[in-house]
Amino acid sequence: MPLPRALHVPFLALVWCVVSLCASRLNVPRVLLPYNHHTPTNFTLKVYNGGCYKWECSRQEVALLAGVEEDGCANEVVVSAISRSPSRQTAIILAQDSGSGDVLRCDVLVDAIHNLEIITTTRELYEEEAPEAFEVQAYDSLGNQFSTLEGMEMIWELETLTGQESSAGPQSVLRWV
Ligand SMILES: *[C@@H]1O[C@H](CO)[C@@H](O)[C@H](O)[C@H]1NC(C)=O
């Protein structure tokens, strides 16, 4: 039986809600983490609107899951990019709802940083000026932006307008935010 016309809008809104907002989902469907030989980068995967999940990763030599106990369930997990290869590695993380059995999926990619970009409102800093936040974003060779750069050490170099270079430790002049 077709729905009365007046019911169409609320009905569609309800369907939209069920399939998008109200359904359980992960904070990200895909995460791109930088390959870092020294300190693995971590990223927290969370389930919105969900119950308790059992997590598994298809390739533990690429990404390690922390924060889940054996036979336990959780609605978030820390993904550690432990890949030992600078070439692109992928793994699939599955989260299964321990009640309903529903499965959520996240693709994890670990790759080397190809280029960096500094995001700031100014390229020139004048002495005695208010502090300015400099943010770095990193991209892989295909132009995809990395999800986080946590744990990556950066050396900042400041150049004066006369062309003289001076090195600045990460803490001394420019602060990481
Ligand atoms: C990520 O987590 C691992 C294991 O808990 C830790 O050894 C590492 O230092 C963390 N990485 C960063 C960048 O904090």
pLDDT digits (tens, 9 = 90+) for 20-77: 556 889 999 999 999 998 899 999 999 998 789 999 999 999 999 997 777 789 999 9
Query: Residue 8 Cα, ligand 1 centroid: separation in angstroms?
Result: 51
Task: Report the CATH fold assignment for 24-111.
Answer: Immunoglobulin-like (2.60.40)
CB half-sphere exposure, 60, CA atoms < 13 A: 4
Q: In what order do the strands lie in the sheet with 103-111?
A: 30-34, 103-111, 89-97, 53-57
Kindly report the pTM of this predicted structure.
0.77
Q: State the closest ligand 1 atom to the C-alpha of 40, by its place in the atom list counted from 1.
A: 11
Residue with tokens 């729905």: 3
How do the domains of the chain map onto residue ranges?
A: 24-111
